[in-house]
Amino acid sequence: MARTALLGRLTWRLARVAAIRRETPRCTTLVLEVPGWSGHRPGQHVDVRLTAEDGYQAERSYSIASAPDGEQVELTVERIDDGEVSPYLVDELHAGDQLELRGPVGGYFVWQPDLGGPLLLVAGGSGVVPLMAMLRHRANQRGTVPTRLLYSSRTAADILYRDELQRLAAADPAVRVTHALTRAQPPGWDGYARRIDAAMLREVSWPPAERPLVYVCGPTRLVEAVATDLVELGHDPARIKTERFGPTGA
Amino acid sequence: MDDRDLRLDGNAVAGLLAEVFAVEPTVSWTNCASCGASNQIGALLAYVHGMGAVLRCPGCNQALLRLGRAPGRVWLDLRGMRWLQVEVETG
Amino acid sequence: MVGGFVSRGFRGRRRGGREGAADPDRLPPGQYAEAGFPVLTAGPTPRIEATAYRFRIEGLVRHPHQWSLDELRALPGSTFSGDIHCVTKWSKLDTSFGGVSVDTLLDQVEPLPHATHVVAFSYGGYTTNLPLDDVRGGRAWLVWEHEGAPLPPEHGGPARLLVPHLYLWKSAKWVAGLRLLDHDEPGFWETLGYHRRGDPWQEQRYWGD
């Protein structure tokens, strides 16, 4: 059984921005080096804190996008237009800057291969970030758990990690990735062209008798609707874990 | 925008609680003093803002954990819980 | 703080030039001007039909009374125009709320001489405590309008208490009534470390301030 206790209380520490990678028009990945990082579990997040010269502070939580990898931690941040923290992280930070963070935290919303499956991952927008950490870790571990990702985005340009997801699915018959585009679809689109609903979940998911482990992440409204639909389809609520991101749109 | 957009999961206060407890708090089990339902902290409904946080029972909305925060201090009220189960090192 | 670490180039949203060219004297210590009206909530938004809404005053009063919204609207109205201050450091300047002065309501119920404090209690279970003097003398309102429109549910509609000279957590949303007491009875946030009175000008944010 994985050890759940931390050694001593968690405190803030400084990470260094090693690289910045633009993913989509709205989202950017920060590649961080965190001295003393003792690893994390896929699905966990960090709290990031910004401090202005006069002491004003703002804090937000960001899911870790990367699989455990030494002292390197990647965060994929969606730029919220009238946000306070994300525009700074996306527009202002340079490689070489430092960033204060606390973590990893959130042992509840975690998946590792030893938890089994089958595994159903449902993402709305940037909610795919912690689920990507799970998929990347599964690939690193040469996992064999049958896994399905249902991922809703506004347009094709907004799909995070699109090529990587395609490669993962192509390389592993046990991984299936299904996209839903809610606002606009490119010509010849063969994925879903609407918001996630019960009918879509029934088509994509395993039947309840297979007892999948389910992780749902994204805007609060989407997460609650999906979780409700899954329970109404007969899935066990005890096997559904949610991570609500709050009111940001997808 | 209302609470239905704003509410989060107990997981969202993992960092804040981890500064208080010496263990990963979100996997700890709680029992609601009002309706008797058992849930992990990560499964509670979380209302979080600068004054603090309130974690509520997903079944009956009772406030199980109320947290007030100030610079350098955190106040905890666990009266809404009948009990909290925390894993500790064995042996 | 990690040894006084400062995030290079971070100023925070509020720094895009002081909204409305705020006179610094209008901001209590530690506050910044916010053009919006942030929603802070500790629980589910109560959904109360306007026709079902009731406000009552009870406790140490000669004539406990309950009003419907129609009855409240029939009373001589009163508007507050000015600034509100949240303990989470934002202040909203030059806003307005419409309703009735709490003095009008207290005149009707006649507080007993030994009443010294009130507890404001709300639909959904929220409570906050105040000295009785802080809801008298033209300093407190029961309001159902914000900037000319009906107060939306996320900001406390159908009606909330408004006590703008104290931090906004004292202005109980979805207020169901006031109970007059001869002692102070800490409410929801006050039992969690927040200040019993909450005067922003003395920066009374927390217990011990």
Domain spans of chain A, in order of start? 13-105, 113-244
CA distance B79 to chain A (A): 23
pTM: 0.89
Structure tokens at B79: 């009266």
Whether residue B91 lies inside any domain: the answer is: no
- Please state the CATH superfamily assignment of the domain spanning residues A13-105 in this structure: Translation factors (2.40.30.10)
CATH of domain A113-244: 3.40.50.80
Per-residue pLDDT of chain A (250 residues; tens, 9 = 90+): 344 444 556 789 999 999 999 999 999 999 999 999 989 999 999 999 999 988 888 999 999 999 999 999 999 999 998 888 999 999 999 999 999 999 999 999 999 999 999 999 999 999 999 999 999 999 999 999 999 999 999 999 999 999 999 999 999 999 999 999 999 999 999 999 999 999 999 999 999 999 999 999 999 999 999 999 999 999 999 999 999 998 864 3
Judged by CB atoms closer than 8 Å, whether chains meet at B51 and C153 is answered as no
Residues A180, A159: Cα–Cα separation, whole Å: 10
Place of tokens 């935290």: A105
Structure tokens at C197: 């009175």
Task: Sort out which chain A residues have CB atoms less than 8 A from C8's CB and list them.
Answer: 92, 97-98
Sign of CA dihedral A147, A153, A159, A160: negative
Residues A31, C154: Cα–Cα separation, whole Å: 38
Helical ranges in A49-197 per DSSP H: 86-87, 128-140, 162-171
- What is the DSSP-derived secondary structure letter of residue B81? E
CATH 3.40.109.10, domain C50-202, yes or no = no
Residues 62-91 of B with CB under 8 A from C: 63, 66-70, 73, 75, 77
Is the ipTM, as predicted for this complex, more than 0.90? no
Mean pLDDT of chain A: 93
pLDDT of residue A62: 97
CA distance A163 to chain C (A): 33
Over residues B59-65, mean pLDDT: 95
Residue B37 is part of which domain span?
3-85
Judged by CB atoms closer than 8 Å, whether chains meet at A14 and C15 is answered as no
Whether residue B56 lies inside any domain: the answer is: yes
Let me know if the fold of A13-105 is the same as that of A113-244. Answer: no
pLDDT of residue B22: 76
Question: For residue C17, what pLDDT band results from cuts at 50, 70 and 90?
Answer: very low
Cis bond leading into A87, ω under 30°?
no
Counting residues of chain C whose pLDDT is more than 70, the rounded percentage is 93
pLDDT of residue A3: 44
Our count of domains for chain B comes to: 1
Whether residue B90 lies inside any domain: the answer is: no
Neighbours of chain C (3+ CB pairs under 8 A): A, B
The reply to whether C35 touches chain B by the CB within 8 Å rule is no
Counting residues of chain C whose pLDDT is more than 90, the rounded percentage is 84
Domain extent listing, chain C: 50-202
Question: Which of A106, A99, A165 is closest to A135 using CA atoms?
Answer: A165
Quick check: B89 pLDDT over 60? Answer: yes
CA distance B68 to chain A (A): 16
